[in-house]
């Protein structure tokens, strides 16, 4: 059984016959027994009747004429402005089409950006190598090359070394007892070399436990022996290329007097197997030979 306050909350809907059957039956039952709520209902009926009795206000007689004038005078919407007020059935397909075009653009640009990112990450790796790259400045001698300069230097090499002789220096892996292996030098090294040393340490760690013999790379961690050999041959180092992934030196570009070649080759042969490409045409007429010493590490 509902109390008066609950019933009075239902009287508005009761008056409009908007209650469901159960609520209507409860209200009917209550009203039969409650004169106060009946009075409240009568008061509400009078109110609604009174509101409905408010006289209506008619539009002026010239309403349509005024409307015609207003329609004629209203500012014409520009085509662009109208575009914003297209109905949803037009706008939604247009928006979907726009979204599809955007998605196409994004997915066609994304791979390019990713490759750009890869290039960027490559250059980050290269940075390590290039920080240790050298080029020869006639006035200042050998100095570390900044990245753009190194790129310029590298780009300049093929132009100036059309008659470059290819020299391949093949380092063979050797097998040595772990016990004889010395710890890496404490001397400061380039980030790339440090990384190599870390890799070596991690590779050596398990071997130290069982003291077994393991293959050790006698790879050139620096190109110092090669550069020394070039110096002995009175040559100049133009640049050193490092592998951007491993940080290992891959090739040395040098300019060597023709007379110094035999001693250079001799020194290089002491380091590993040496293969020399035939003389180039330009080399025959020149006192200076451009060399590209490729450093190969074979198992």
Partner 1 sequence: MTSSGEDALLVKAFQKGDKRAFDELVIRHQDRIFNLCYRFLGDYEETNDSAQEAFVKAYDSLSTFRLESTFSTWLYRIAVNTCKNKLGSSACKAKRKTVSLDNPGNPSDDPLHMEIPNGAPSPLARMEEKEKMALVQRALDALPTEFKMVVTLRDVEGLSYEDIAEITGLNLGTVKSRIARARTDLRNKLRGVL
Does residue 148 belong to the site contacting partner 1 (CB under 8 A)?
no
Q: Which stretch binds partner 1 (CB under 8 A): 59-67, 176-184, 246-254, 279-287?
A: 59-67
Specify the residue, 44 or 168, whose C-beta has the smaller distance to partner 1.
44
Cα separation, 189 vs 132, whole angstroms: 9
Does residue 12 belong to the site contacting partner 1 (CB under 8 A)?
yes
Does residue 75 belong to the site contacting partner 1 (CB under 8 A)?
no
- On whether the CB atoms of residues 216 and 174 are closer than 8 A, the answer is yes
Specify the residue, 54 or 80, whose C-beta has the smaller distance to partner 1.
54
Does residue 56 belong to the site contacting partner 1 (CB under 8 A)?
yes
Query: Of residues 5, 22, 35, 74, which one binds partner 1 by CB under 8 A?
Result: 74
What token pair was written down for 167?
Answer: 């020299």
> Binding residues for partner 1, how many (CB under 8 A)?
32
Does residue 79 belong to the site contacting partner 1 (CB under 8 A)?
no
Does residue 63 belong to the site contacting partner 1 (CB under 8 A)?
yes
- On whether the CB atoms of residues 204 and 178 are closer than 8 A, the answer is yes
Place of tokens 């408010």: 54
- Name every residue whose Cβ is closer than 8 Å to that of residue 130 and which is 6 or more positions away in sequence: 145, 146, 147, 150, 242
Specify the residue, 74 or 140, whose C-beta has the smaller distance to partner 1.
74
In the complex, least distance from residue 121 CB atom to partner 1, rounded to whole angstroms: 53
Q: Which stretch binds partner 1 (CB under 8 A): 23-31, 40-48, 126-134, 273-281?
A: 40-48
Does residue 76 belong to the site contacting partner 1 (CB under 8 A)?
no
Query: Of residues 22, 70, 159, 188, which one binds partner 1 by CB under 8 A?
Result: 70
Q: Which stretch binds partner 1 (CB under 8 A): 25-33, 45-53, 172-180, 211-219?
A: 45-53
What token pair was written down for 193?
Answer: 């070399």
Specify the residue, 64 or 105, whose C-beta has the smaller distance to partner 1.
64
Query: Of residues 1, 21, 71, 155, which one binds partner 1 by CB under 8 A?
Result: 71
Specify the residue, 67 or 177, whose C-beta has the smaller distance to partner 1.
67
Neighbouring C-beta atoms of residue 153, cutoff 10 Å: 20
- On whether the CB atoms of residues 233 and 267 are closer than 8 A, the answer is yes
Contacting positions for partner 1 (CB under 8 A): 9, 11-13, 16, 18, 43-44, 46-61, 63-64, 66-67, 70-71, 74, 87
């Amino acid at each position: 059984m509902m109390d008066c306050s609950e019933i009075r909350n239902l009287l508005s809907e009761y008056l409009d016959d908007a209650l469901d059957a159960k609520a209507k039956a409860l209200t009917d039952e209550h009203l039969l027994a409650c004169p106060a709520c009946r009075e409240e209902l009568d008061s509400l009926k009078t109110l609604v009747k009174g509101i409905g009795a408010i006289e209506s206000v008619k539009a002026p007689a010239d309403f349509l004429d005024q409307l015609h004038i207003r329609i004629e005078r209203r500012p014409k919407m520009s085509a662009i402005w109208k575009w914003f007020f297209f109905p949803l059935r037009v706008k939604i397909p247009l928006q979907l089409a726009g979204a599809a075009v955007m998605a196409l653009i994004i997915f066609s640009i994304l791979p390019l950006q990713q490759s750009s990112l890869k290039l960027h990450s490559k250059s980050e790796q290269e940075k390590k190598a290039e920080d240790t790259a050298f080029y020869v400045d006639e006035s200042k001698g050998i100095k570390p090359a900044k990245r753009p300069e190194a790129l310029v230097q590298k780009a300049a090499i093929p132009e100036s070394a059309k008659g470059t002789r290819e020299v391949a220096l093949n380092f063979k892996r050797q097998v040595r007892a772990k016990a004889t292996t010395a710890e890496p030098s404490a001397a400061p090294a380039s980030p790339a070399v440090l990384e190599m040393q870390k890799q070596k340490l991690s590779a050596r760690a398990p071997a130290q436990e069982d003291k077994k013999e393991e293959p050790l790379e006698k790879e050139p961690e620096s190109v110092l022996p090669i550069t020394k050999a070039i110096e002995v041959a009175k040559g100049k180092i133009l640049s050193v290329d490092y592998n951007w992934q491993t940080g290992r030196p891959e090739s040395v570009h040098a300019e060597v007097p023709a007379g110094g070649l035999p001693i250079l080759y001799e020194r290089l042969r002491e380091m590993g197997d040496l293969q020399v490409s035939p003389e180039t045409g330009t080399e025959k007429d020149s006192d200076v030979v451009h060399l590209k010493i490729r450093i190969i590490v074979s198992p």
